Amino acid sequence: MNIEFSIADIVPRRTSVRNFSSQTIEPETIRSIESFVDTVDNPFGRTVRFYFLDAEELSDQPKLGTYGVIKGATRYIGASIDDAPFALEALGYEMETVILYLTSLGLGTCWLGGTFSRKAFARAMDVGDSQLFPAITPYGWSKKKKHAKEHLMRKMIRADQRKPWDVLFFQNDFDTPLTKKAAGELAFLLDMVRLGPSASNKQPWRVLLKDHTLHFFEAKQPGYSDAFAYDIQRIDMGIAAAHLDLAAREKGIRGEFDFSGEPALPLPDEWKYAFSWRAD
C-alpha cells in the first residue's frame, strides 16, 4: 500500500463525523477509494475483507439503523475477518488506514462498532455468516453542524480529549512515566498513537519502552471489552499499530513488529499484552 498523504497532518485532522450532507461524492473519487482499499494490508498476517454499500442503490431499502447516531449518510464501508489470533487488530489497522485515506480526501467518517444494526448491514453487504463483522463506517461530506445527539455523545465520552502521556506511556517499568525527551524520535510515533480513535474514547493503549522496543498493552475495561462475542478494544490496539507504523514510515524511523511473545514483566491488573515494535 502506498500512503501519499501526511500522517502528521491527517491524524490530528480526523474526527468522528455523525452528521452528513446530501452532497454526492464524484464517481472518480469513489473509484480512487475502491482502488486504495484494494491495496491496504496489515502486519498481523490476516486477510481483512471490505464491503462497499450505497443504501440509495438498494432495491428493497432495508432498515439500516444506527440508533439515531448517524444522520444523512447513504454510503458505508464495512469490514469483516475470519476469527483467528490477531484478527481484530488486523481489522483495526486496515480500517483505520482506510479512514485516514478518506479523511485525506476531505470526507467524514465514524467508526461504528456498537451503534449499528449488524444483521441488516451484514445482509445488505452480503457478509458471510462465518465472518466476524465488528465494524462499519459511514463516509461522505460532513454537515457544518453536529446534530443534538452527536453533541451529547461527544460530551459524555469527552471525545475531544486524550489521556496525558504519563498515563499512557512508560519507560522500563510501569512506575516510570516516559517523557517526550527520553522517547526521542519515538515521541512523534507515540503522539500519533495517542490521538487515535477508540471505542467510547476509552484509549486502552499502554506502551512500555524498554531496550529500544515499544511493548503495547491493552488496559482492558471489564464489562466493556467483553460486552461482545469478541474484545472490541483489540480493534483499538490495531488502530494504535496503524498510527505507529504509518508515522514511523513517514519519518523514516526503521523498526519491525514483533509478535514472538510476551515480555516477562509484572503487569497491572486487567492489562493484557498485545504486541511489540522494535526500533532498528
CA distance 23 to 71: 13
Stretch that binds ligand FMN, among 23-31, 177-185, 195-203, 205-213 (CB under 6 A): 195-203
Stretch that binds ligand FMN, among 34-42, 164-172, 174-182, 197-205 (CB under 6 A): 197-205
Distances (CA, A) of 56 to 61, 62, 64: 8, 10, 11
Q: Total binding residues for ligand FMN by CB under 6 A?
A: 22
The 10 Å Cβ neighbour count of residue 256 is 14
- Indicate which single residue of 72, 108, 140, 197 sits in contact with ligand FMN (rule: CB under 6 A): 197
Q: Which residue has the cell 488502530?
A: 239
CA distance 253 to 188: 10
* Contact positions with ligand FMN (CB under 6 A) in 219-258: 232, 235-236, 239
* Contact positions with ligand FMN (CB under 6 A) in 143-182: 153, 157, 159
Taking alpha carbons only, the member of 7, 6, 2, 3 closest to residue 192 is: 7
Q: Is 110 in the site for ligand FMN (CB under 6 A)?
A: yes
Taking alpha carbons only, the member of 248, 258, 256 closest to residue 3 is: 248
CA distance 58 to 41: 29
- Indicate which single residue of 113, 138, 140, 255 sits in contact with ligand FMN (rule: CB under 6 A): 113
- Indicate which single residue of 90, 199, 214, 247 sits in contact with ligand FMN (rule: CB under 6 A): 199
Contact residues for ligand FMN (CB under 6 A)? 15-16, 69, 110-115, 135, 153, 157, 159, 197-201, 232, 235-236, 239
